[in-house]
Chain A
Amino acid sequence: MEGSKSNKSETSEILSSIRKLLRHIDFYLSKGGRTAVPEEITEILKELGRLESASKLLIENADIGIRVFKKLKKYISARLCRLDIRLSKFLIHYAVPLIILKAAFDAFYEGKVRVSSLAKVPGMTKNYIKGAFRRLRRIAEMTEETRILKSSVQREIFKIRELLSLIELEKEKLRAQHKRLQALFNKNWESLEAVGMLNSTSRRELILRLLAYIDYESKEGRYANEL
């Protein structure tokens, strides 16, 4: 009787330990493994591992056994994943100072960052001064290029203004005969009148007239049509 009583109390203890274990594992998993591992989990697992009857109980009570092993599987994989992340973090922490040092060394070595020391010997070599004179010559060349560019731009602006004034003149002429020209340019290119005009006018005059017409048509002709 006493033996069966002690067996029962041991079984209930094991069951309560298992329940406790499951609770702690659930809590750990619910936090995504970000919390510290509860010491109880390790302690309970150690205790259960020591007891032979615990293994028997888990085998006999299949429901509890399956639940415990499923939870343990999840716990171990979460724990391993966490350890993996920590290891990679550790590796980064370990490598960062080395990377910074390497970058700093490269910057100094390649002359991107200049170190100014307290003792600097003054001086300049002939090669350097030659380079300095070359820089002056380059400035002179650039100034000349800018001057040429400026004058050519001014020349262009002058030409455009001249052209615009000529177009304006042509536009004045067009005002009087707009309707006739509009008909001519729009549809009647093959008429005798058009052919005569094309033959009698010079190329320059024709181009000017066309430009004037386009300008006139876009601004004033529209209103004339509307009227």
Chain B
Amino acid sequence: MRVKRVDMPMNSNKSMELEIRTIAASIIMKSTLDKGQPLKYILSCARKLGISAEELISELNRRFESVGLKLRTVRKSQSTSDEAEVFVVIDPELKISVGMLDRITCAVLALIYIKAETQPINVENIVEALEQIIKDRSRAKEIFDRALRKLEKSKLVKVDHEKKLIELTSKALAILPEREDLESMLIEVIS
């Protein structure tokens, strides 16, 4: 079967259209490489195109949302707006069950986010939280250790092994839904 390639209809301003598509593609590529596109890159692109950064972001967001994706800007609490990163992630609101990790690791990641948000947190606090749910210390420790290895490998958490501190990376913050939603979900399921 031959597949006929159909180009999308372009606006009158072809170069602007091409520029927006290029920015969108670069954000997707960065996101697939576990990195975010720096916000300052988007700002400079907007300046080049002669539109405001908000306009460019809303246009990109519109395009991504139309295909089930979402544009997320992650600002770490201590970082300035220039250090913020832009990610493209699967829209968490979609009515499908999709995740990039296995379920238990995903649950541990959500638990870390609920407990720590953007701040570093002690390993023990997470193990205790997990123990409260599972009601078995050794099993909780075993699950946590396994999940932590996977999270570290997927570059979703940074672990300071000496200080025993865990911190979520920008990528993890980008893919997770709102903390309030996670909390209510946890209460609904566990209670």
- Chain A partners chain B: yes
Interface residues of A (CB under 8 A from B): 118-137, 139-140, 143-144, 147
Q: How far is the CA of A186 from the CA of B165 in the complex (A)?
A: 76
Which residue of the partner chain, among B90, B103, B135, contacts A135 with CB atoms under 8 Å? B103
B 93-116 binary contact with A (CB < 8 Å = 1; else 0): 111111111011011001000000
- Name the distance in Å between A101's Cβ and chain B's nearest Cβ: 14
Q: Using a CB-CB cutoff of 8 Å, which residues 130-186 of chain B contact chain A?
A: 130, 133-136, 139, 143, 171, 174-177, 181-182, 185-186
Which residue of the partner chain, among B106, B135, B139, B143, contacts A129 with CB atoms under 8 Å? B106
Contact indicator B92/A123 (Cβ below 8 Å): yes
Which residue of the partner chain, among A124, A134, A137, A139, contacts B92 with CB atoms under 8 Å? A124
Chain A residue nearest in CB terms to B143: A139
Q: Which of B1-9, B28-36, B47-55 contacts A (4 or more CB under 8 A)?
A: B28-36
Chain A residue nearest in CB terms to B101: A124
Size category of the B interface is 35 or more
Contact indicator A136/B134 (Cβ below 8 Å): yes
CB neighbours of B133 from chain A (8 A): 136-137, 140
Which residue of the partner chain, among B69, B104, B189, B190, contacts A121 with CB atoms under 8 Å? B69
Q: How far is the CA of A140 from the CA of B136 in the complex (A)?
A: 8
Q: How far is the CA of A131 from the CA of B104 in the complex (A)?
A: 9
Q: How far is the CA of A119 from the CA of B32 in the complex (A)?
A: 6
Contact indicator B175/A122 (Cβ below 8 Å): yes
Which residue of the partner chain, among A120, A122, A139, contacts B174 with CB atoms under 8 Å? A122
Q: How far is the CA of A130 from the CA of B98 in the complex (A)?
A: 11
Contact indicator B90/A123 (Cβ below 8 Å): yes
Q: 19 pairs across A/B with beta carbons < 8 Å?
A: A120-B100, A121-B28, A121-B89, A121-B90, A122-B32, A122-B87, A122-B90, A122-B174, A124-B98, A124-B99, A125-B94, A125-B98, A128-B97, A128-B103, A129-B106, A129-B107, A133-B110, A135-B104, A143-B134
3 closest A-B pairs (Cβ-Cβ)?
A123-B90, A132-B107, A124-B99
CB neighbours of B176 from chain A (8 A): 124
Which residue of the partner chain, among A124, A140, A147, contacts B90 with CB atoms under 8 Å? A124
Contact indicator A126/B181 (Cβ below 8 Å): yes
Q: How far is the CA of A122 from the CA of B172 in the complex (A)?
A: 9
Q: How far is the CA of A123 from the CA of B135 in the complex (A)?
A: 29
Contact indicator B32/A125 (Cβ below 8 Å): no
Q: How far is the CA of A89 from the CA of B95 in the complex (A)?
A: 50
Q: How far is the CA of A77 from the CA of B40 in the complex (A)?
A: 84
Tell whether B85 is near chain A: CB-to-CB under 8 Å: no
- Name the distance in Å between B73's Cβ and chain A's nearest Cβ: 15
CB neighbours of B185 from chain A (8 A): 126, 129-130, 133
- Name the distance in Å between B47's Cβ and chain A's nearest Cβ: 27
Which residue of the partner chain, among B31, B101, B190, contacts A136 with CB atoms under 8 Å? B190
Contact indicator A123/B134 (Cβ below 8 Å): no
Contact indicator A123/B190 (Cβ below 8 Å): no
